Amino acid sequence: MSQHEYIWSLNDLQRVPKNGRKVFTTFSCGGGSTMGYKLAGYDVIGNVEIDPQMMAIYRANHNPRFPFLMPIQQFKTIPDSDLPSELFDLDILDGSPPCSVFSTAGKREEKWGGEFHFREGQAKQRLDDLFFDYLDVVEKLRPKVAVAENVKGMILGNAKGYVKLVIERFNEIGYDVQLFILNAATMGVPQKRERVFFVARRRDLCLPKLVLNFNERPILYSEFRSGRGRPLDRGGKTYQRWLKRRPIDRDFGDIGQREEGKDSNFNTILIKDHKVANTLASNSWFVRYDEPYFISEQDIIRMQTFPQDYDFLDADVQYVCGMSVPPVMMKRIAQQIDAQWFSKLQ
């Protein structure tokens, strides 16, 4: 493995000592969480994924023993007798239910209760129900531990009522749950990415509360910067705005507000060598402050702590990375769950 933990390859997983713990993951997307568990020594035995393209990527890189290409609503209705017995002896059931309806960007409350295509080509779903579908699978499979990731917006404002219902459902099915707001920048990931993690332990195991405190050194953009991405179009508005940037500007929305009196293009972010990168999202763009270029795909892969040799097939690299939990972030959590809980059960 590289001297930098966030620069690694899939081959490195062969040298990770195994801890004997089994994980099954739902909403697996490109496999970010899966790689985090593997980096921590877990065996990820299968996945549920609705998107054929994401499942193809997952299969190509992880070769799961028990893959289920279907909506989670369909998976949870499969008779127990038709499922592999290993799924009823899990250490962790993982899941990151799609969370765009809780994002603080836009008028999120207007989306609650509606049905949407999370992505073109997928089935239309009520996105704010997906967490409860995940909880139905927790109740069905009864893992020792359940881990679910979501956006920070889920615990802000009116969404707090939703979280209360999630906690009540965990309690109802026999789990004690803790919520953690974690910043990837404190966990060895080179980006400021705040996420909420629900970590639930099965009550009959009588496990203590989990303690998660991370305080690793921030990783600046200059430390992993590589190559160049696409140049800005010299005849385009983005380039004209870039020419008017100032050191205080965080994104092109700041420039537009100052120069044109309108706050647009806020998801095109100025990235600076002496700063930690902002959250990598599937719909954001990073432009270098010191030259009119987007960042490189190599930068995106490193920023998300994906392996250097990951096969993205024909998918957009940033989409896959932006939709995933950074592997190193999940590795840190999984290591603590093993050290504080599973090692005590032996």
Task: Please identify every residue annotated as catalytic.
Answer: 99
Token pair in block for residue 123: 């089935």
How far apart are alpha carbons 20 and 103 in whole angstroms?
A: 36
81, with CB counted inside 10 A (0-12, 13-18, 19+), is: exposed
Q: 């030259």: which residue's tokens?
A: 291
How far apart are alpha carbons 206 and 208 in whole angstroms?
A: 7
DSSP at 309: T
Q: In 307-324, which positions are buried (b, 16+ CB within 10 angstroms) versus exposed (e)?
A: beebebeebebbbbbbbb
Q: In 210-222, which positions are buried (b, 16+ CB within 10 angstroms) versus exposed (e)?
A: bebebeeeebebe
- Phi and psi at residue 132, in whole multiples of 5°? -75, -30
DSSP at 260: H
Token pair in block for residue 31: 């496999």
Token pair in block for residue 8: 């690694």
Determine the distance from the C-alpha atom of residue 230 to the mean position of all C-alpha atoms in its chain, rounded to a whole number: 25
Q: Residue 27: left (phi > 0), alpha (psi -120 to 50), or beta?
A: left
* Element (DSSP H or E) covering residue 201: strand 194-202
What amino acid occupies position 192? K
Q: 């090692």: which residue's tokens?
A: 343
Token pair in block for residue 149: 């990731």
- Tell how strand 92-95 and strand 145-151 pair up: parallel
